[in-house]
Structure 1
Amino acid sequence: MPKNKAIILLAAGHACVDVYQGSVAALVPFFAAERAYGYAAVSGIVLAASLLSSVAQPLFGALTDRWAMPWLLPASTVLGGAGIGLGGFVDSYPLTLVFVAVSGIGVAAYHPEAARVARSASGGGHTAMGWFSLGGNIGFAAAPVLVAAAMTLGGLPASPLLVVPALAGAVLCLPVLRLLAKATGTGGRTAGGAGTDDWKSFGKLSLAVVFRSIVFVGLSTFVSLYAQERTGGGTTTGSAALFLLYLGGAGGTLLGSRLAGRWGRVTLVRWSYLGTVAAVAGVVFVPGPAFFPFVLLAAVGLYIPFSLQITLSQDYLPRRVGTASGVTLGLTVSIGGLASPVIGTIADHTSLRTALIPLIVLPLLCWITTRTLPEPCSVQSGTPREGKLSNSRG
């Protein structure tokens, strides 16, 4: 199978999986409307999807550093879809938490192995990883549309319809698995890459990913409710705001992978975060219809670094690609999910705008954290990575 076809299939499968990450936030206004859940209760659902995932994803990454487990791709896709489908279907808050947590474990199992396979198929280039990441962004963007369609058909009891993308994603994985079986065999030990692990730089990058995660997951959890509050609209308005957030993420990912070759990954990551400060401030403070462009700009700014951070983490830990992928991709959603109940509790006791104000500062902390990151040798250029990193400051 040609390399480009493998990346396209992996990106499509990634889209099917990340529908379920996006679905958690997309279901929030419907849980609030149909079950009268407050801010703290709906953020608890986001927490359920993130809590076990935050622990499981790095563990799955460590496992894939020792053994290739491509069978995880279809199995985890189905598990992620089944959890969301049942989470909306059951009329019980504790059971909803359980099923959403199961979905989170499925998502956690998918990403480290999928990122390892994508790196292997692409040769480690950030452009190919950008296309792989774009698939996930498309899944996020599709989630509000798919959820709204299912809810129109029957409200939360119609949630099992959301399992359909998982079945499609599992099927899309099969040609990639056959390719891997022919090339290296399945279930074998994963060979470590060449080079020296730079844990210090990886730690700094991970801290930036934590701050970014809190901003993005905080916005994705509450932007639909905040849009209704700022514009006086209903659940359709909320779904539109969430769709813009995810659409901007898709555009930002593609833009980042294209611009990185010109300006360098670290420089682009750094300045993207600095520009995001103003965009998030606009989301929080601008009222009326003018609120929506800032949602789009904030998403673009937060997602320009997304795929670049994945390849940077893999280059910082060339001998532990699965661990690097698991931590970077896991923290992308998990840590933000852990912070969401705090935002929800503050909103319940004050106002949603007050609770969202701290999100403005976090992209600035991302910029500060990434200021001293070195630029690893480019994998795409074909230059071997020898452990020494050339300093690059913008």
Structure 2
Amino acid sequence: MINDLVTTGIVPALLPMYRDAFSLSYTQTGFIVLFSYITSSVMQPLFGAWTDRKPKVWMLPFGVFLSVLGLALTGIAPSYGWVLFLIALSGLGSGAFHPEASRGTHYASGNAKGLAQAIFQVGGNAGQALGPLMIPLFLISTGRSGLLWFVLIGLIAFLLAARQVPWYRERLEDHGRKQQQMTGKNHWWGVFLLVCVIILRSWCQIGVSAFLPFFFLHQMNMSYGHAELLNFLFLGAGALGTFIGGAISDKIGMKQLLVGSMLFSIPFALLLPYAKGGYAWLILLLFGFFVLSSFAVTVVYMQRLLPRNIAMASGLAIGFGVGAGGIGATLMGYLTDLYGIMSIMSVISVLPIVASVLAFLLPSDRKAV
């Protein structure tokens, strides 16, 4: 929760604050998300492939602390360039943390892989949801320098993660021989399709969390605090959907859950550009619930498709999706500069449709290995 609070949660919500502080264009604000997400996403599969050979338990506490520290220091960054550097540093910490944390969840889950990963991901989604909420409750009062208080949160996260290191080291020793004796084969075509679905879902998420506040501010004449509360509603509903989706997937199967998640999100994505008043609350609630209900499922699905590379699978499912969101944010910022904020809402509307088609083409999770 703490890690994702400062990366995928609060960074998109801080874009208007960074934009005002350094007089940035929409494209430049998109680059802030890009630097955050690319460093975490590109590094996650690489860290995962590296640690599949020899796990690095120390990445748990040090990764999350670096993630928080980088974000906190942007509160005193003297220029836009320093913001990009520190945001990238924060993303690097997140990239180191996630593969080991996700593997630890895999070892602790027993036969309830979907439920366990859902519990793990709900922590992350809760952090994402709390990020926008921090703006009206905290940072509007303290200003950008108030981000320095997050250093204390980083120390708390370090201590919490460090407590898990002895248990994690024991589990690695217990599972080491079993992992070496695995006979399952990696299903690379399925991996490619699943990565595409994850990218499209990530673009939906980042499009809403990063650009919906601008849409409500400029198109609906809504207050900044009210717009961020709607953002919190979307991400909070996604956290609930993640937990319920993970639990259900253990019973109905991961592919069925993933396809259903994308299909049920389509009508609310199409209604998003026309969301007003009380309808905006309902549309964002249901859109967030359905589109993010497959978040934990895709991690377990990727692990099923890559049984010999559990950490790399986690890095692809979590990290690559996050990085794709950063690329999407940059493209959306560019489109906004050219065609206006309404164009982004139209782009988001069609993404779940394409994701649904690709999800249908995935191999059955019960036959993937």
TM-score by length of 1: 0.87
Among 8, 19, 27, the residue aligned to 2:5: 19
Asked if residue 327 in structure 1 is aligned to residue 316 in structure 2, the reply is yes
Which residue does 1:159 correspond to in 2? Answer: 147
Relative to structure 1, the CA distance from residue 355 to residue 67 in structure 2 (aligned partners, 3 Å threshold; closer, same or farther) is same
Q: CA deviation at 1:93?
A: 0.5
Equivalent AA in structure 2 for residue 20 of structure 1: V
Distance 1:66 1:358 in 2: 40
Relative to structure 1, the CA distance from residue 313 to residue 184 in structure 2 (aligned partners, 3 Å threshold; closer, same or farther) is closer
Asked if residue 142 in structure 1 is aligned to residue 133 in structure 2, the reply is no
Asked if residue 73 in structure 1 is aligned to residue 60 in structure 2, the reply is yes
Q: Where do 5+ consecutive residues of structure 1 fail to align?
A: 1-14, 378-387
Relative to structure 1, the CA distance from residue 147 to residue 166 in structure 2 (aligned partners, 3 Å threshold; closer, same or farther) is farther
Among 355, 358, 367, the residue aligned to 1:366: 355
Asked if residue 356 in structure 1 is aligned to residue 345 in structure 2, the reply is yes
Distance 2:28 2:36 in 1: 13
Equivalent AA in structure 1 for residue 280 of structure 2: F
Which residue does 1:380 correspond to in 2? Answer: none
Asked if 2 retains the 8 angstrom alpha-carbon contact of 1:68 and 1:190, the reply is: no
Aligned residues: 365
Which residue does 2:265 correspond to in 1? Answer: 276
Asked if 1 retains the 8 angstrom alpha-carbon contact of 2:107 and 2:171, the reply is: no
Q: CA deviation at 1:185?
A: 5.2
The aligned runs of 1:1-394 (5 Å cut-off) are: 15-21=1-7, 22-123=9-110, 125-184=113-172, 191-192=179-180, 193-377=182-366, 388-389=367-368
Asked if 2 retains the 8 angstrom alpha-carbon contact of 1:64 and 1:190, the reply is: no
Deviates more, 1:161-170 or 1:330-339: 161-170
Q: Percent identity?
A: 28
Q: CA deviation at 1:38?
A: 2.9
Relative to structure 1, the CA distance from residue 288 to residue 117 in structure 2 (aligned partners, 3 Å threshold; closer, same or farther) is same
Q: CA deviation at 1:263?
A: 2.5
Asked if 2 retains the 8 angstrom alpha-carbon contact of 1:227 and 1:241, the reply is: no
Asked if 1 retains the 8 angstrom alpha-carbon contact of 2:38 and 2:322, the reply is: no
Deviates more, 1:328-337 or 1:51-60: 51-60
Q: Return the structure number with greater relative CO, CA threshold 8 A, min gap 6.
A: 2
Q: CA deviation at 1:356?
A: 2.6
Relative to structure 1, the CA distance from residue 229 to residue 290 in structure 2 (aligned partners, 3 Å threshold; closer, same or farther) is farther
Equivalent AA in structure 1 for residue 194 of structure 2: L
Equivalent AA in structure 1 for residue 122 of structure 2: L
Cα deviations by residue, 1:73-117 (Å, 9 ceiling, x for unpaired): 110111110111112321310100110011111111111111111
SS at match of 2:365: coil
Deviates more, 1:41-50 or 1:285-294: 285-294
Equivalent AA in structure 2 for residue 160 of structure 1: L
Q: CA deviation at 1:389?
A: 4.1
Q: Where do 5+ consecutive residues of structure 2 fail to align?
A: none
SS at match of 2:265: helix
Distance 2:151 2:238 in 1: 23
SS at match of 1:191: helix
SS at match of 2:307: coil
Q: CA deviation at 1:189?
A: 9.5
Q: CA deviation at 1:72?
A: 0.3
Which residue does 1:8 correspond to in 2? Answer: none
Deviates more, 1:320-329 or 1:168-177: 168-177
SS at match of 2:227: helix
Asked if 2 retains the 8 angstrom alpha-carbon contact of 1:83 and 1:99, the reply is: yes
Distance 1:232 1:147 in 2: 18
Asked if 2 retains the 8 angstrom alpha-carbon contact of 1:283 and 1:292, the reply is: no
Asked if 2 retains the 8 angstrom alpha-carbon contact of 1:256 and 1:305, the reply is: yes
Asked if 1 retains the 8 angstrom alpha-carbon contact of 2:245 and 2:297, the reply is: yes
TM-score by length of 2: 0.93
Cα deviations by residue, 1:219-249 (Å, 9 ceiling, x for unpaired): 1111222222343122201221221121011
Deviates more, 1:49-58 or 1:306-315: 49-58
